[in-house]
Structure 1
Amino acid sequence: MKSLNNASKKIFFKLIDIMYGSDCLEIENKPFLNLVLERIGRDIKTPHGTAEVYSLRHGYEQDEDLMILLEMFFIIVDNRKGDAMAWALVRIFPYKFHKTVSKIMQVGIPIENGWLCEYDKGLQEGQLRAADKWLKDIERQGYLDEVPF
């Protein structure tokens, strides 16, 4: 499995930091769609250590239904143990891609009963490239500027 690059890891952890321990963060950033980060799982067993699972999405409501323009799911293993600058000890694996508008759901790394399963290398690497680009866009579009630290 391949992890996000260090620049993307730092952007992702800025978002996690501004969750202030809650399980959900929503950032409004006009004229762009709202961005939602949600912790959806804990204690996932991976070869790299115990992980948490997050969903990151852009969406909108249409006729009282949530329409997800883009949603990606991430497995995060943080083995820094207090050394905040040791980014080599952080692994963030994109593992699922979802769009309700075009009815796409791609799972690159299945999780069953709290354990990672055999994964699709090509699909996961494609999700990795998309996630690195998306996180760079999130920073460039000013989402991190909309939340006071």
Structure 2
Amino acid sequence: MKQLNEKAAAVFGTLMDAMTRGCLQVFNKPHLPLALDNIYDARLPLYGPAEVYHLCHHFIQDGHVVEDPSMFFAVVDNRQKSGGMDQLIVIPVSLRHDGRYEANCVMNDDEFVSFDEQLQNRHVDFAESWMQNIVRHGYLDRIAQDTPVQLDEDDTGCEECTAF
């Protein structure tokens, strides 16, 4: 299983740390909104307990919410033990982009049991590039402003999420 490099994992960890009630929305016009949700608990071979997160950009098209790109990640967060982002293990498990969906793993109940190494490597490359773009487009700066926004009727966020 290949995981995100430390720099990309740190970006993901910063998004996780901004979450409340299991979700986060970042509105950073003119770019698409970014959403992160904690979906469910799972188990990863070699790592044990993990949490599955969903990260996506979203927009409304013909009255429907469209997520593109959209990825699921299995995350083992050992930062409580040591405090550093180097203790955050982030493993992409699926990618939906440009109308195509790819899962690089097989699950049995709540446990990941096998991974397609070649496909997972492509998903890691995509996710690391996406994390760079999240930084480059100012999403983390928006969060750092620490000024939650009020959602309006054009936004697709939930009322429970922290929105920046």
Give TM-score, length-normalised by structure 1.
0.90
Would you say how many aligned residue pairs link Structure 1 and Structure 2? Answer: 144
* Corresponding residue of 1:119: 115
- Give deviations 1:16-46, integer Å, cap 9, x for gaps: 11113x211110001100000011111x111
Matched, 1:60 2:39: no
The percent identity for this pair of structures is 32
Instruction: Kindly indicate whether the alpha-carbon contact (under 8 Å) linking 1:25 and 1:36 is maintained by their aligned counterparts in 2.
Output: yes
Alignment correspondent of 2:88: 90
* Structure 1 outlier segments of 4+, above 3 Å: none
Q: TM-score, normalised by structure 2?
A: 0.82
For residues 26 and 82 of structure 2, the distance between their equivalents in structure 1, rounded to whole angstroms, comes to 28
Equivalent positions of 1:98-109 (< 5 A) are 98-99=96-97, 102-109=98-105
After alignment, is 105-114 or 28-37 more displaced?
105-114
Aligned residues of 2:13 and 2:85 also touching (Cα < 8 A): no
Q: Which has the higher contact order (CA 8 A, sep 6+)?
A: 2
Over aligned residues, Cα RMSD in angstroms?
1.4
Cα offset for 1:86?
5.9
The 8 Å contact of residues 49 and 79 in structure 1, kept in 2 or not, is answered as: no
Query: Which residue in 1 is equivalent to 2:49?
Result: 50
Can you give the 5+ residue segments of structure 2 that lack an aligned partner in the other structure?
A: 147-164
- In the other structure, the counterpart of 2:12 is 12
Please list every run of 5 or more consecutive structure 1 residues that lacks an aligned counterpart in the other structure: none
